[in-house]
Every structure is written in C-alpha cells, then in structure tokens.
Amino acid sequence: MSRKLDNLGVSAFCESMAMMIQSGIQTDEAAALLYSGHKDGGTLEQGLLGMKNGLEEGKSLSAVMEESGIFPHYCLQMIKAGEQSGRLEDVLFRLSRYYTEQKTLTDKLKNAITYPAAMLILIIAVLIVMLTMVLPAFTDVYNNMTGSLAASSYRYIRLAYVFSWAALAVMVILAGALLAGLILWNTGRKEIVEKVLRRIPATNAILENMGMFRFTSALSTFLASGEMQDIAVQDSIAMTDCAPLEEKLKKCLSYMEEGHSFSQAAYEEELFEPVYGRMLLAGERSGNMENVLARLTGLLEENCQNLVDRLVGVVDPLLSGVLMVTVGLSLLSVMLPLIGMMNSVG
C-alpha cells in the first residue's frame, strides 16, 4: 500500500490541479504536466504516474486518485462531490485551503508537545546529575566532618534526597505517559489517547474545537459542491474524528429529519456558541449559508490555535518553575549547613 501524502502535499496537488483546470487544461493533461515536474521518485510521483495513465483511459479524477492510494478519504469524497456537481475547480481550491489550515494546526500541536517534552528531558537530566553527583559530593564532605553541626546537616541532605527522588519519579511518569501516548497515536490507536485527553478540560476543548473546525469545513465544501443539506451534514459527520461531537451532530441530523433546517437544528442543540448559532440562522435566511460557514470555519480555526497557545502558555512556565524550584530547594538544602559551618568558623 502506498504511503499517504501529508497535508502540505495534498494542498499543493489540489492547488496545482485547480489552477490548471481554471486555465482550461484537461485533467489528464494536468496530471501529465504535474508528473513531468516531479522526478524525485517520491510518493507523489508514483501516484501521478498511475493517475496519468488512468485518466488517459477515461477514468474520473476521483477514481484514479482513489486507486493511487496516496490521498486521504476526506479529499476523495470532496473530489467526487465536485465532479458530480460540476464544481471541481472550486472544490479543489477549497481543499487546498483546508489542508493548508490542517498543516498549520498540526504544526502548532507538534510544537505544543515538543517543548514540554524537551523540558521534561532536561528536568530528568538535571535531577539525575543532582542525585548522582551533587548530593553525594556534599554527603562526602559532611561524612569527613564531626560535631553537632555536621550531624544536623544530614537532616537537610535527607530532605534534598527525598525531594529530588520524588520530583524525578513524577517527571519520569509524565515522560513515560507522553511517550506511550505518542506511540499509541502513531500506531493507529489514537482513540485510547483521545479518551484520556477528553478527561482533561483544556485538551477536551481543543479536541472538540478541532472536530468542529473539520465539520464546518467539510460541510461548507459539500454545500459548495451542490449536495443537498441533509446529505452534506450526514457526509460531514464522519470527518469530525471526535466521538462526542459526532453524537451531538447525529442529534441535529435527527432534528433535520423532522423537517427543520441545519441552522435551526444546530441552534436548538446548542452545537455552536449562541453568537455563532444566530450568525448561522441569519446566513441561511439570507441565502448566504456558504459564506457564513466559511467565516465560522475561520473563527473555529483561530479559536483552536488560541486554545493551543493558552495551554502551552500554562505548561511551559509550570515545567520551568518545577525545574527551578527542584534545583533551588535541593541546593539550598545542602548549602544551608555549609553556610552555618562557615559562620561558626568565622
């Protein structure tokens, strides 16, 4: 099975195809031109070769893209809808923007994980140095001394050891949990990770906002491709990749089956914040639903980025504080007796 294209690769492909179709170039010629411009032997070149041959045989663009095995399911569904409605060019441009936005969000989430992971490794390394080199060195100093002051200093040393070992245990557990989460996510068992993240209010809000962002983006594209509203909502539900949100959307779909519009169903089920719900109602009544959905998608993306930034803004100082407090208290515990000894000698 071919390796899937990343978000940036899908975005670049869709934008290139859209611009060529806009210029009046047929899809088979466009695929041939793209293939001639990629001679790196990568995933896209291999896919383009099969697509070019399939298009020359008279197959549809969505069919050859699916056969190539390098495009995500969402992209294929959108292309198919665009072909059926005769709005392929518009759908391709929308997909290009969608996957560019997905790339931005993914990079932001990766950065949100990378810095805390680096801080955890740094804290663990510092604590190991403290426990294996710094504290034993002070212990040897006090072992070579006699008297009540030297004896009392062992109490401070023991406190430093206890504090450092406790902090090290907590940091190792956190690092292990982060590593396990990354392994589960990369091996296709991300539902386990998401189940844990949903129990944390801050991360649950990010997951729900990302799911809503994917839903509104998909719904906007499906509606732009000419699909009926109820079918567009049903097809968009699978794109959320968020189980709790899917349940809420299915309730909206049931409400629509009773004869209500999506905006009414979304407002009654409180799918969006009240101000967004009223915006959607006004957009539908004015016949401007697609533009309102596009605006909502942008707002949800911005809100998602703000939530990630806010989480990073809390976690980063917290880990830095743990590092400073741990090292500071440990050093203070071993330095106080030494200061007392120097004062007694003076």
Closest CA relative to residue 51, chosen from 74, 23, 32, 24: 32
Question: Using one digit for the tens of pLDDT, what is the confidence trace for 157-199?
Answer: 777 788 888 888 888 888 888 888 888 877 767 778 777 877 8
Please enumerate in sequence order all residues whose Cβ is within 8 A of that of 215, keeping only pairs 6 or more positions apart, or say none: 236, 237, 239, 240, 245, 249
Q: Is the pLDDT of residue 346 over 60?
A: no
What angle do the packed helices 88-129 and 289-345 form, to 10 degrees?
10
Give the residue extent of every domain in the chain. Answer: 7-71, 100-346
Is residue 303 very low, low, confident or very high in pLDDT (cuts 50, 70, 90)?
confident
Question: Using one digit for the tens of pLDDT, what is the confidence trace for 246-293?
Answer: 888 888 888 888 888 888 888 888 888 888 888 888 888 887 887 888
The whole-angstrom separation of Cα 326 and Cα 331 is 9
pLDDT at 80: 83
pLDDT at 152: 56
Question: Using one digit for the tens of pLDDT, what is the confidence trace for 227-249?
Answer: 778 888 888 887 777 778 888 88
The whole-angstrom separation of Cα 327 and Cα 294 is 50
CA atoms within 13 A on the CB side of 185: 13
CA dihedral angle for residue 31, residue 33, residue 38, residue 42, rounded to 10 degrees: 10
Ramachandran region of residue 86, left (φ > 0), alpha (ψ -120 to 50) or beta? left
Q: Do residues 154 and 333 make contact, with C-beta atoms less than 8 angstroms apart?
A: no
pLDDT at 336: 67
Other Cβ atoms less than 10 A from the Cβ of 5: the count is 21
Ramachandran region of residue 270, left (φ > 0), alpha (ψ -120 to 50) or beta? left
Question: Using one digit for the tens of pLDDT, what is the confidence trace for 49-83?
Answer: 888 888 888 888 888 888 888 888 888 888 887 88
Q: Which fold has domain 100-346?
A: Receptor-associated Protein (1.20.81)
Q: What is the CA radius of gyration of the chain?
A: 29
| Rounded mean pLDDT, 294-299 | 82
pTM of the model: 0.70
Please enumerate in sequence order all residues whose Cβ is within 8 A of that of 252, keeping only pairs 6 or more positions apart, or say none: 233, 262, 265, 266, 269, 271
Higher pLDDT, 206 or 85: 206
Question: Using one digit for the tens of pLDDT, what is the confidence trace for 312-339?
Answer: 777 778 777 777 777 777 777 667 666 6
